Amino acid sequence: MATDRDIVAAREIGKAVARELGFDGVDLVVIATAISEVARNIISYAVHGEVEVAELRNGHRRGIEMVARDRGPGIADVERAMQDGYSTGGGLGLGLPGSRRLVDEFSIESSTGGGGTTVTMRKWLG
């Protein structure tokens, strides 16, 4: 991902994969919206990065895993970045905390020492 056009591409791919896995209706929109938010975080703060979408299996449970990864400057205060309304980039400050509300599992790892930021989101079927 390198431009804002890629945000749209990432969420379209994510939606297509989710549909193949059996997600429908509101779940598809929720998955696409969550991908859109974390992908925009990459473009806004790190400029370059990637979004990976994969199938999840845990016994009989199936789901989708979405990983957004960048090698950007990292988030100095992750706890604060997860609060509604906090933004250093002029946005609404809802991207990360909002995405967390959209999915079943959410984790974020960030390092300001060059390790970048990785956001992992999971949503289960049913």
Partner 1 sequence: MPSPIPVLQQGSVLIASVQAVLDDEDWVRLRGQLADRVASGRASGVIVDVSSVDVLDSFATRMLRAIAEISRLRGATTVIAGIAPEVAFAMVQLGLTLDGISTVLDLDAALAVLNRRTAGGDAG
Residue indicated by tokens 């991908």: 35
Contacting residue, 48, 67, 91, 124, with partner 1 by CB under 8 A: 91
Pairing of strands 105-111, 116-124: antiparallel
Q: Is 119 in the site for partner 1 (CB under 8 A)?
A: no
Pairing of strands 61-70, 49-58: antiparallel
Residues numbered 14 to 43 that lie near partner 1 (CB under 8 A) are 15, 25-26, 28-30, 32-33, 36-37, 40
Q: How far is the CB of 20 from partner 1 (least distance, A)?
A: 17
Nearest CB to partner 1, comparing residues 32 and 46: 32
Q: Is 5 in the site for partner 1 (CB under 8 A)?
A: yes
Q: How far is the CB of 84 from partner 1 (least distance, A)?
A: 6
Short-list 96, 114, 108, 123, CA closest to 39: 96
Q: Is 95 in the site for partner 1 (CB under 8 A)?
A: yes
Q: For the chain, how long is the longest CA-to-CA vector?
A: 43
How large is the angle between the packed helices 95-102 and 25-41, nearest 10 degrees?
150
Count of CA atoms in the C-beta half-sphere (13 A) of 38: 36
User: Where does this chain bind partner 1 (CB under 8 A)?
Assistant: 4-5, 7-8, 11-12, 15, 25-26, 28-30, 32-33, 36-37, 40, 84, 91-92, 94-95, 97-99, 101-102
